[in-house]
Every structure is written in C-alpha cells, then in structure tokens.
A and B are shown apart, each in its own frame.
Chain A
Amino acid sequence: MFVKHLLHILSEENRFSRMRQISHICGFLIAIMLFFVFEAGAQSPPPTPSDDEINAIASELYCPVCENVPLDVCGTQACEQWRGVIRDKLMEGWSNEEIKQYFVELYGDRVLATPPAKGFNWLVYLVPPLVILAGVYWMVQLFSRRKKTVSQSEATINLEQEEYISRLEEELKKR
C-alpha cells in the first residue's frame, strides 16, 4: 500500500511539491524509528558488573564474621550475600565510595580495610612513623656518641705519647 501510494505521488505533474511530501514522510518515518531505538535503549537493563568490578570494592572491605578475611576472598554465605549487595548497588549506579559508606553505616568502621583517620584510629597512622623516627634519632645519637668517644680516646693517647716523647727527649738531653 505504501509503495503504491509513493508511485501515485510520483506520477503527478507537480513533482516538486510531491518531492516535499516524500521528504516529510521519510522524516516522519525516521523520527518514529529513532524514537523506538532510544526507547529500547532506555528500557534495556543496566549491564551486569563483572566479578573484577565487584572484587575491586570487596577487596577494600573485610568480613566481620570471620575476622581478618577480605571480602573478595571470603567463602562464607554472609560474604556471598555481601558481594551480591555490591553487585546490586553497582547496577543501581552507586559509586565505590557510596557502597563502602553503605556498608560502614550497616556494619560499622571495622568492615573497612583501612580504618578512617579519626579517634583512636589515629594511632594506626601515627605510631609506626613515630617509632621509625625515634629509632632513627636513637641510631644517630648512638653513632655520634661512639664517634666522640673514639676521638676523645685518640686525643688522650696522643697526649700521653707527646708527654712520653718530651720526657724521653729531656732525659736524652741530660745525658
């Protein structure tokens, strides 16, 4: 029917106006096609996050049930459920930080692989560098003290030797 209608339009005398009609029809058809393409795109489900994407976040979280086990390598049912939650949140478009914050709100700070720098947690960040600095200071002190002792003992020996030589010279002169 559509082709027949097109042929009928082309057979008319005023080709110019007919061509405009055809271009309008084509434009209308393209618009309909584009509408369906975008509609289909909008309705398609978001891509499922890969295991690597899930594990990237899971590796920054710890299982609170089995202590000291990162979530990405934890094999318990609880951890499996948690990884499922990460997958769901990623599909909903949540960022890594938002997901981690969600877990902190639910299970507390202890789920984080790196504790947040607040309260007593500061000790984790302050104590190791302070211990290293104290160690370096102690080593420097130790070496400088040892150096001084060595130079002092050398000076004492030199003084004693000088005294001995002068005494020897005096004795020689007497003879």
Chain B
Amino acid sequence: MASQSNEKTEQTTRRGKPRWGRLVVWLGLVVFLIILGFGLMRTQQGPITIGEKAPDITLTTFDGQEIRMTDFPGKVVVVNFWASWCKPCEQEAADLEAAWQYFKPGGEVVFLGVAYVDTEPEARAYIEKFGISYPNGLDLGTRISQNFRISGVPETYVFDRDHVLQFVQIGPFQSLSQLKSVIDTYLAP
C-alpha cells in the first residue's frame, strides 16, 4: 500500500513538471504568433483609405520650419511623396508646382512635399531643378511615410477641408488639368 501511494506521488510530480513547461511553451508561442500577426497585418494594411482622418504628421522643411497638418484648419491639403531618384516623380513635378501657383492666391489649398528616403543635397537640387516653391522637407526617420503607409513614390493624398482623406493618386498625375479638377472637387462648398 505504502509503495503504491509513493508511486502515485512520484507520478503526479513527474506529470506536474512537463505540464508547467508545456503551458509556458504554448503561451510563449501564442504571444509570439500574436505579435507576428500584428506585424503582418500592419505591413499588409496598404495605404490609408478614403474617409480616414489625416495622420498627425510634422514635416520639417528644408528651411527648418516645422509644419503640422493641424496648422491649416479649413483648408484642402495636398501631400505629395517624391524622391530625387524617382523618375516618374519628375513627370509630375512641374504640374504640381503649376497647380500650387494656380491655387496659391486663393489661400484655400496647401501643398506639402515629402522627400521619401532621399539625401538632402539631391533633394534640394531636385527642388531647384523644377522650381518648386511650396513647403518641402525630408521624411525624417520615414515617420510620415509610415503614418501614410505609402507603397512607393510618387503618391499624392488629397484631404478635404475637414482633413479627411478624399483622394489618393498612386503614381504620377497624368496632367495638370487632372490635378486641378481633383482639387476643385474638394474646394467646392
């Protein structure tokens, strides 16, 4: 009888150890998979969608000015992502500047240029080459592009007066008239 009870206690302790071990291993695995899942979801999420509120971004311009989306209440905001090494960006650079010159006197539209993974000297040279005059700056730490979850350059995001995303252009605009008509749509009261 005594030997039987001894065997039983031995068995329970023998079973108890692996149970805890297994629990910890499974728990660790589940936590790891959850983290991995969140990471994958984030990467597969794609760019911000129409109807979403504008991300709270801060752009440090090449002049050293700090610009936030919230600095322009009631204005239509056009955010353009570009890079000096991006050939398709050159295609729309002049149109963007022309559109800015067209809407600038009205004071109801704001253009912001974000240089994505670019080097400062090349980005400045690009701005000079195309005579771009609206605020531009480097995407420091790729924080802005991560907030917008961009997939490449060029990409342009048009926010209405309430700073709700209304239009996304993946790739360059085909013409100045296309760009103007998009902005005009959201300027209308």
Contacts and interface: CB of A to CB of B under 8 A. Distances in A.
A108 B83 contact: no
Interface string A2-19: 000000000000000000
Nearest to A77: B85
A116 to B, nearest CB: 13
Interface string B128-152: 0000000000101111001000000
A76 B85 CA distance: 9
Contacts of B21: 137
A112 to B, nearest CB: 12
B122 interface: yes
A85 B32 contact: no
Nearest to B24: A134
Given A78-B85, A130-B28, A107 B35 contact: no
A97 B42 CA distance: 30
B18 interface: yes
Contacts of B146: 108
A106 interface: yes
A127 B25 CA distance: 12
A69 to B, nearest CB: 13
A153 to B, nearest CB: 16
Contact of B143 (A64, A84, A108, A130): A108
A64 B152 CA distance: 11
A94 B25 CA distance: 46
A86 to B, nearest CB: 10
Q: Is the interface of B mostly helix, strand, loop or mixed?
A: helix
Interface string B62-96: 00000000000000000000011100000000000
Contact of B142 (A110, A120, A134, A137): A110
Contacts of B118: 78, 81
A64 B32 contact: no
Nearest to A104: B141
A137 B146 CA distance: 41
A106 B85 contact: no
A134 B83 contact: no
B140 A106 contact: yes
B141 A108 contact: yes
B119 A84 contact: yes
A91 interface: no
Nearest to A120: B35
